[in-house]
Amino acid sequence: MSDQQHHAELAPSFHAERRNLRAMGMWLFLGSEVMFFTAFFGAYIVARSASIEPINHPLDKVLGALNTVVLITSSLTMALAVAYSKRGDRKKTGLALLGTLALAAMFLVVKGFEYHAHFAEGVYPSSDIFHGFYFMLTGFHGLHVIGGMISLSILWYRNRRGDFDEHYCDPIEMTGLYWHFVDLVWIFLFPALYLL
Amino acid sequence: MSEAKIERVADFYHPEPTDFFRKYVWSYDHKVIAKQYLWTSFIFLILGGTLAMLLRWQIAYPNAPVPVLGSLLHGMFFFGADGSITPGGYLELATMHGLIMVFFVIIPLIVSAFGNFLIPLHIGARDVAFPLLNAVSYWLYLPAGLLIFASFFVDKGAAAAGWTAYPPLSDAAGASDPVLGMNMVLFALFLAGFSSILGGLNFLVTIVKLRAPGMTWSRLPLTTWAQFITAVFQVLATPMLAAVGAMLLFDRIAGTSFFIPTGLTINSELVANAGGGFPLLWQHIFWFYAHPAVYILILPSMGFASDILSAFSRKPVFGYRAMVISLASIMGLGFVVWGHHMFLSGMNPVMGMAFMISTVFIALPSGVKVFNWLGTLWGGSIRLQPPMLYALSFVSMFIVGGLSGIFMAASPVDIYIHDTYYIIAHFHYVVFGATLFSVFAATTYWFPKMFGREMNRKLSYLHWGLTFLFFNLAFFPMHFLGEAGHMRRLATSTGYEFLNPLAPWNEFITLSAFALGMSQLLFMYNFIYSVFAGKPAETNPWEASTLEWTIPNPVPVYNFKELPVVTRGPHEYSSPDTLPGDWLPQNAPANPSASAGH
Amino acid sequence: MTRRTALASLALLLLPALALADAVAGGSPSIWLPAQVSQAGHDIDALYMNVMVIVAVIFVATEGLLLYSIIAFRAKPGRRAQYFHGSTGVELVLAAVPALILLYITVTSSQLWDRVRLAPPKGADVVHIQVYSEQFAWNFRYPGPDAAFGTKDDVMVSVDAAVPVGKDIVFHLSSKDVIHSFFLPESRVKQDLVPGLLGKVWTRWDLIPVWDLATQQRVLLTLDQYRAAAVATSGYTLQSEPNPVKRWFQASDSAKINYLHYHYERDNDAKLVVEKGGKPCKDAPQYVLHYYEIGCAQLCGNLHFAMRGTMKVLPPEDYEAWLKAQQPDSSLADKWNGIWDKYHPEFNKIL
């Protein structure tokens, strides 16, 4: 049974309560994701502090900074999507979702350029331990971006179909929480990998 | 229910499906999902137990052809051409026995099967918070299990580096490395871990948000409290396993060197990976997960034991609040003791000191729980029915397993007994003696509610007696082996002079283990027969007071016709207001003279 | 059904009972710690016994209470259970007393841990030996007269090592391939050898293991006792024969219980060397020089079970002679120079 069919039979109080449950579920899921990335960050920190050779900043800081700006902006558009959807403004919600999608796609394109440049130089995850961590961390982050984009696409489609209104926009809110988390991970990744 | 708008989440339930697929395969009903987990885990229990029997054969009769199975399967899997178990095959058996038992038997049984069935019933809800996610969790676990099973059949066999998979052995160990098998195991763990995380968060939201009116935190059955604390462990610790497993997989597939130091040379060849990595990194991150995992293996069973001991002593649990505080302390401390698996790993000995302190003190909350179980029995009116016998054995063997743990916590002693049979004895007492016995207790106790029938009591008594006897005969002598210095994971001990005097013990243990294995046939027969043709059970055969016993068997899809209003604690047996009987259900009206139970 | 199952279970019971009887009849299997032979071993065993006493008391008390309760408080018609939720006083006492006991265990363990792991012996009299484990052998390197590792006078041996009696020995541990564990059971020495990491364990042996030819048992001699006796250092080999009894439930002819009897026998192909008081002697030997076994205690691959070594303990003059008698081996030298020295020269520092 989909949300659509239930919609007619469910009172607003039900939606409010279920939104509350889903929010708690999403926060817990994000908690587990934090632990997931913490394991990598912890390992990276240990490896960095134990390694004898200095890192020669082999990453392109400009592209990294660009991606940071792109992702932060996408968090803004995502927040807008949530706000518009809570107001019941279907058109603006759709635009904001598209904007987020576009920015996410841009992030991946820039990342793709970076990876391509590395591979062209013969630098792979196996080249040395720094690049092992770099590809691992950005790779999993990228997978999470792709997952978010799939969700955003589905949301855009459902929004167009008229599934959401001011009483019921849980999926957009939950995806918003997730998307801010993805952005937050990058905000840690960027200085850890590119700057320090 | 279809006329008026549904106001509250608690009122909602998915109606009963009519087709076989939605009823038994892709079901949103927590009770059906629980049974899916139950059956699947029991099948894996048979597989894991068989692997153990095979490796015990090799230990007792080194290089002797295995009867029956050896001649049938010679040259395949772990068998050599003559039907005996090869050294590599032995390691495969030991590794897969551990992996299957931990991830595909115990955790799914005590958390996913019993947790799923009981949590909504115990809190007075119609289902868990996210029924769809619940179904997804099972359908992540089953493919993971099939992947593990399939890993036996690929070239070079299944994983063979121990369930702890320490690199570099699990990473780049040369020609004998089971390339595909180990990778399959890592994928399977990823899937099973994801299933576990989703299940844990489902239970957390359920317990926090869907309790019936009047079901305050201090009126929760201890089973529910234990599941709650376990779910916190699951959500926070399991991702670490996913992360470190991914790193190992990258090392194996993508040639990274997270765990491979520079200059690693296997046979005479320098390993192709670039180097610069740290083998101990695996151990730290793995044990950061795996130590909480062993608490996941014991906490739910402590919950079962508490509720069952109380119901069959006809008195409240002694020190309910202390029990909850102990559960929470075990959770808190459980995150900072992981280094006690690494006292001898080469890690900085100063860290060893720190971990020793936290490890010794985590014995305290477990000790408090043991005293409280004893206090629950004291002054009771004890009914020695099968669930109670199993629960009492749980306490008895948890005492042994817990006390043997103190030896290892004292790190200088661990220098001697680490990686010996002493450790094997310790964890089998806790995981088999305690947890598996509590599974038997929970199964016999909740069987009437799950299946609407009774298990045969005489068979249960017999199974209990034989299992208790043979379990102790098989595992207690392992303490002696450990004291003598018998190392772990030895395909045969014939090469060492100092181990030779221990050979009779090895044979004794193996024979007891075979008898133990055979005794489980009784339980299997009892369980399967009773599911289909057992005597129909009454609603509350044990006169227990928790909410699941107030509804008919088998439980209807909506659980409670009307959501209960809870007025009393879960273990209020023999309270004065239960007179003339000795119990009332948790949702009995506040003025019991209107309708007393019994 | 029940009677048959009961009989079947009785039959099952016979098997382990038979095995136990066998074991007891064949020679008593030990249920206690084997005797320790090194300096740290004494302290570790003492700690073990302390914990054992505490654990035994708790075990008897709790299991006893459990058993007592089951019997004393079993359901009787007309009897009602006592209704109480607990007692804060009892709880506090039952938490405080174990806490104090655990504190005692922590303190004594910390002190010992400090001695065996945090305070290596120092000084010129300490013997340093590098241990390099590989699949599936133990390699040892001695620094030689210049007391420095990685130089031309280093002595390299494999599998069978020797140390001088009565001196502090520090082992520097690392591994060439996977993680192994350096385990000397009777000496209570154990530590993982991790590739890329240098570990250190230390101990001292004050007694020399020899084999008494009269009783065919291993005995431990002090240095003076050793010098006073005639000891064969070569010309004897250790033989074993399996206990030839085959039990009725054993699967095949080859599956005899691997309960071996050991004895030293004169090997006529080898030259007989007997010494007494540090000099060659023509007397019939009373003892044969024996050793401590080294085992691998961390899963390291398919032949993990076969990774055995030996550690001889020698009088100082014999030790020097043994060092001088070792022949250089180019494949061993390749491992040490080509891998240990090349990738981890910092491991060669003796601090």
Which residues of chain C make contact with B96, given a CB cutoff of 8 A?
Answer: none
C165 and C140: one domain? Answer: yes
Cα-based torsion angle of the residue sequence C154, C158, C159, C165 in order, rounded to the nearest 10 degrees: -10
Any domain includes C7:
no
Give me the phi and psi of C220, to 5 degrees please: -115, 130
Amino acid at B314: R
Q: Are strands C236-242 and C155-158 parallel, antiparallel or unpaired?
A: unpaired
* Closest CA–CA distance from residue B315 to any residue of chain C (Å): 6
CB contact residues (below 8 A), chain B span 6-45, against chain C: none
Say what the pLDDT of residue B594 is. Answer: 47
Which residues of chain B make contact with A24, given a CB cutoff of 8 A?
Answer: 204-205, 208-209
Place of tokens 């690494």: B342
Residue of A nearest to B235 (CA): A32
pTM of the prediction?
0.93
- The full set of domains in chain A, from first to last, is 3-195 (1.20.120.80)
**Contact yes or no for A140 and B246 at CB 8 A:** yes
CB contact residues (below 8 A), chain B span 466-505, against chain C: 466, 469-470, 473, 480, 483-485, 487-498, 500-505
Among the partner residues C32, C85, C344, nearest to B483 by beta-carbon distance: C32
Say what the pLDDT of residue C261 is. Answer: 77
Which residues of chain B make contact with A2, given a CB cutoff of 8 A?
Answer: none
pLDDT in tens, chain C (351 residues): 456 655 665 556 666 666 555 554 444 445 567 677 777 888 899 999 999 999 999 999 999 999 999 999 999 988 899 999 999 999 999 999 999 999 999 999 999 999 899 889 998 899 999 999 999 999 999 998 888 998 888 999 999 999 999 999 999 999 999 999 999 998 999 999 999 999 999 999 989 999 999 988 888 999 999 999 999 998 999 988 776 665 555 554 544 555 677 889 998 888 899 999 888 988 889 999 999 999 999 999 999 999 999 999 999 999 999 999 998 888 899 889 989 999 999 999 886
Closest by Cα among C43, C23, C12, C26 to C204: C43
* Closest CA–CA distance from residue A174 to any residue of chain B (Å): 14
Closest by Cα among B375, B368, B379, B376 to B330: B368
**Contact yes or no for C16 and B263 at CB 8 A:** no
Evaluate whether B483 touches C33 at the Cβ level (below 8 Å).
yes
Q: Which candidate in A1, A36, A123 is best for mutational testing of the B interface (most B CBs within 10 A)?
A: A36
Assess C95–B contact: CB distance below 8 Å, yes or no.
yes
Assess A3–B contact: CB distance below 8 Å, yes or no.
no
Among the partner residues B368, B406, B512, nearest to C94 by beta-carbon distance: B368
**Contact yes or no for C44 and B415 at CB 8 A:** yes
**Contact yes or no for C191 and B418 at CB 8 A:** no
**Contact yes or no for B209 and A24 at CB 8 A:** yes
Which residues of chain B make contact with A133, given a CB cutoff of 8 A?
Answer: 258
Assess B350–C contact: CB distance below 8 Å, yes or no.
yes
Which residues of chain A make contact with B244, given a CB cutoff of 8 A?
Answer: 39, 43
Please write the tens of the pLDDT for every residue from B213-255: 999 999 999 999 999 999 999 999 999 999 999 999 999 998 8
**Contact yes or no for C258 and B316 at CB 8 A:** no
Say what the pLDDT of residue B1 is. Answer: 44
Beta strands in B347-416 (DSSP E): none
C303 in helix, strand or coil? coil
Instruction: Provide the terminal-to-terminal Cα distance of chain B, rounded to the nearest Å.
Output: 33
Neighbours of chain B (3+ CB pairs under 8 A): A, C
- CA dihedral (B36, B41, B46, B47) positive or negative: positive
**Contact yes or no for B273 and A126 at CB 8 A:** yes
Among the partner residues C86, C108, C195, nearest to B168 by beta-carbon distance: C195
Among the partner residues A10, A22, A129, nearest to B5 by beta-carbon distance: A10
C155 and C108: one domain? Answer: no
Which residues of chain C make contact with B350, given a CB cutoff of 8 A?
Answer: 118
Any domain includes C12:
no
- CA dihedral (C226, C227, C228, C229) positive or negative: positive
The stretches in chain B having pLDDT less than 50 are 1-2, 594-598
Among the partner residues B5, B133, B244, nearest to A11 by beta-carbon distance: B5
Which residues of chain A make contact with B236, given a CB cutoff of 8 A?
Answer: 31-32, 35
Please write the tens of the pLDDT for every residue from B518-569: 999 999 999 999 999 999 999 999 999 999 999 998 899 999 999 999 999 9
Q: What is the ipTM of this complex?
A: 0.92
For residue B218, what is the DSSP state? G
| Residue B252: C-alpha distances to residues A113, B169, B249 (Å) | 26, 11, 5
Beta strands in B165-264 (DSSP E): none
C297 and C174: one domain? Answer: yes
**Contact yes or no for B5 and A14 at CB 8 A:** yes
Confidence of residue A2 (pLDDT cuts 50, 70, 90): very low
Which residues of chain C make contact with B340, given a CB cutoff of 8 A?
Answer: none
Q: Sort residue B317 into left (φ over 0), alpha (ψ -120 to 50) or beta.
A: beta
**Contact yes or no for C82 and B315 at CB 8 A:** yes
Instruction: Provide the terminal-to-terminal Cα distance of chain C, rounded to the nearest Å.
Output: 73
Say what the pLDDT of residue A5 is. Answer: 43
Which residues of chain B make contact with A118, given a CB cutoff of 8 A?
Answer: none
Beta bridge partner(s), residue B337: none
Determine if the peptide bond prior to C16 is cis (ω within 30°): no
Among the partner residues B266, B368, B410, nearest to C51 by beta-carbon distance: B410
C147 and C48: one domain? Answer: no
C52 and C151: one domain? Answer: no
Say what the pLDDT of residue B195 is. Answer: 97
Question: Where in the sequence is the domain holding C145, given as residue range(s)?
Answer: 123-245+257-351
**Contact yes or no for B255 and A35 at CB 8 A:** no
For residue B486, what is the DSSP state? P
**Contact yes or no for C343 and B494 at CB 8 A:** no
Place of tokens 């990473």: B171
CB contact residues (below 8 A), chain A span 7-66, against chain B: 9-11, 13-14, 17-18, 20-22, 24-25, 28-29, 31-33, 35-40, 42-43, 46-47, 50-51
**C-alpha–C-alpha distance, residues B166 and B80, integer Å:** 26
Give the count of domains, chain C: 2
Assess B82–C contact: CB distance below 8 Å, yes or no.
no
C90 and C237: one domain? Answer: no
Assess B391–C contact: CB distance below 8 Å, yes or no.
no
Give me the phi and psi of C131, to 5 degrees please: -120, 125
Neighbours of chain C (3+ CB pairs under 8 A): B
H/E/C letters for each residue in B8-42? CHHHCCCCCCCCHHHHHHCCCCHHHHHHHHHHHHH
Which residues of chain B make contact with C186, given a CB cutoff of 8 A?
Answer: 485, 498
Place of tokens 């050896």: B70
**C-alpha–C-alpha distance, residues C49 and C55, integer Å:** 10
Any domain includes C22:
no
Any domain includes C250:
no
Evaluate whether C208 touches C165 at the Cβ level (below 8 Å).
yes
The enclosing domain of C286 has a CATH number of 2.60.40.420
CATH of domain B30-261+274-578: 1.20.210.10
Which residues of chain B make contact with C7, given a CB cutoff of 8 A?
Answer: none
Among the partner residues A17, A40, A47, nearest to B8 by beta-carbon distance: A17
Assess C3–B contact: CB distance below 8 Å, yes or no.
no
**C-alpha–C-alpha distance, residues B223 and B226, integer Å:** 5
Among the partner residues B344, B370, B409, nearest to C62 by beta-carbon distance: B370
Assess B77–C contact: CB distance below 8 Å, yes or no.
no
**C-alpha–C-alpha distance, residues C155 and B569, integer Å:** 74
Any domain includes C21:
no
Say what the pLDDT of residue A55 is. Answer: 67
How many CA within 13 A on the CB side of residue C45?
Answer: 18
Say what the pLDDT of residue C91 is. Answer: 92
**C-alpha–C-alpha distance, residues A137 and B247, integer Å:** 10
Closest by Cα among B145, B140, B138 to B31: B138
**Contact yes or no for A51 and B12 at CB 8 A:** no
C67 and C166: one domain? Answer: no
- Max alpha carbon distance in chain C (Å)? 90
Any domain includes C286:
yes
Q: Is B343 exposed, middle or buried (0-12, 13-18, 19+ CB in 10 A)?
A: buried
Please write the tens of the pLDDT for every residue from A46-88: 888 887 666 666 788 899 999 999 999 999 999 999 999 999 8
Q: Which candidate in A1, A35, A170 is best for mutational testing of the B interface (most B CBs within 10 A)?
A: A35
Say what the pLDDT of residue A3 is. Answer: 43
Give me the phi and psi of C264, to 5 degrees please: -90, 135
**Contact yes or no for B66 and C116 at CB 8 A:** no
Residue of B nearest to A17 (CA): B9
